[in-house]
Structure 1
Amino acid sequence: MRSEPTSVLRHRIVEAPAGRLHLAEQGTGPLVLLVHGFPESWYSWRRQLPALAAAGFRAVAIDVRGYGRSSKPAATDAYRMLDLVADNVAVVRALGEESAVVVGHDWGSNIAAASALLHPEVFRAAGLLSVPYAPPGGPRPTDVFDHIGGPDQEFYVSYFQEPGRAESEIEPDVRGWLAGFYAALSADTMPAEGEPDPHFVAPGGQLRDRFPDGPLPGWLSEEELDVYAAEFERTGLTGALNRYRNMDRDWEDLAPHSGAAIKQPSLFIGGTLDASTTWMSDAIDAFPATLPALSAAHLLDGCGHWIQQERPDEVNRLLTDWLATLEH
Structure 2
Amino acid sequence: MSQAADPFTPAGAQHRLVDVPGGRIHLVEQGTGPLVLLVHGFPELWYSWRHQLPALAEAGYRAVAIDVRGYGRSSVPDAVEAYRIGAHVEDNVAVVRALGEETAVIVGHDWGSTIAADSALLRPDVFSAVGLLGVPYAPRGGMRPSDAFAMIGGDEEFYVRYFQEPGRAESEIEPDVRAWLTGFYATLSADTMPESGEAGVFFVPKGGKLSDRFVKDRPSWLSDDELDFCVGEFERTGFTGALNRYRSMDQDWEDLAEWDGAPITQPSLFVAGRLDASIAWLASAIEAFPTTLPGLVSSHLVEGCGHWVQQERPEEVNRLLTTWLRSLNA
| Distance (Å, rounded) in 2 between the aligned partners of 1:194 and 1:203 | 20
Aligned-pair distance for 1:271?
A: 1.2
1:256-304 Cα offsets, whole Å, 9 max, x none, are: 1001000000000011111111111111111111111100110111210
| Distance (Å, rounded) in 1 between the aligned partners of 2:146 and 2:242 | 18
Match of 1:208 in 2: 211
Aligned-pair distance for 1:327?
A: 3.0
Which piece of structure 1 moves more, 303-312 or 189-198?
189-198
1:31-78 Cα offsets, whole Å, 9 max, x none, are: 000000000000000000000000000000000000000000110110
Matches within 5 A, 1:60-71: 60-71=64-75
TM normalised by structure 2 equals: 0.95
Match of 1:301 in 2: 303
The runs of 4+ residues in structure 1 deviating greater than 2 Å are none
Distance change >3 Å, CA 254–CA 9, structure 1 → 2 = same
Query: Structure 2 counterpart of 1:307, which letter?
Result: V
Which piece of structure 1 moves more, 122-131 or 198-207?
198-207
Matches within 5 A, 1:99-110: 99-110=103-114
Q: 135, 155, 169: which is aligned to 2:158?
A: 155
Query: Structure 2 counterpart of 1:174, which letter?
Result: V
Query: Structure 1 counterpart of 2:211, which letter?
Result: R
Q: 92, 95, 99: which is aligned to 2:96?
A: 92
Aligned-pair distance for 1:18?
A: 2.4
Distance change >3 Å, CA 193–CA 203, structure 1 → 2 = same
| Distance (Å, rounded) in 2 between the aligned partners of 1:201 and 1:293 | 37
Query: Structure 2 counterpart of 1:95, which letter?
Result: L
Q: CA RMSD in A?
A: 1.3
Query: Structure 2 counterpart of 1:17, which letter?
Result: P
Match of 2:184 in 1: 181
Q: 141, 145, 162: which is aligned to 1:141?
A: 145
Matches within 5 A, 1:213-232: 213=216, 215-232=217-234
Aligned residues, how many? 321
Q: 24, 32, 38: which is aligned to 1:34?
A: 38
| Distance (Å, rounded) in 2 between the aligned partners of 1:171 and 1:291 | 38
Match of 1:123 in 2: 127
* Contact 2:188 2:198 (C-alpha < 8 Å) held by counterparts: no
| Distance (Å, rounded) in 2 between the aligned partners of 1:230 and 1:122 | 34
Q: Does 1:166 align with 2:169?
A: yes
Distance change >3 Å, CA 209–CA 263, structure 1 → 2 = same
Which piece of structure 1 moves more, 6-15 or 269-278?
6-15
Structure 2 residue ranges without an equivalent (≥5)? 1-9
Secondary structure of residue in 2 paired with 1:183: helix
Query: Structure 2 counterpart of 1:34, which letter?
Result: L
| Distance (Å, rounded) in 1 between the aligned partners of 2:22 and 2:179 | 29
* Contact 1:7 1:27 (C-alpha < 8 Å) held by counterparts: no
Q: 44, 52, 76: which is aligned to 1:48?
A: 52
| Distance (Å, rounded) in 2 between the aligned partners of 1:40 and 1:221 | 15
Secondary structure of residue in 1 paired with 2:179: helix
Structure 1 residue ranges without an equivalent (≥5)? 1-5
Q: 244, 249, 252: which is aligned to 2:251?
A: 249
Match of 1:3 in 2: none
| Distance (Å, rounded) in 2 between the aligned partners of 1:281 and 1:235 | 34
Query: Structure 2 counterpart of 1:43, which letter?
Result: Y
* Contact 2:190 2:304 (C-alpha < 8 Å) held by counterparts: yes
| Distance (Å, rounded) in 2 between the aligned partners of 1:149 and 1:78 | 29
Match of 1:272 in 2: 274
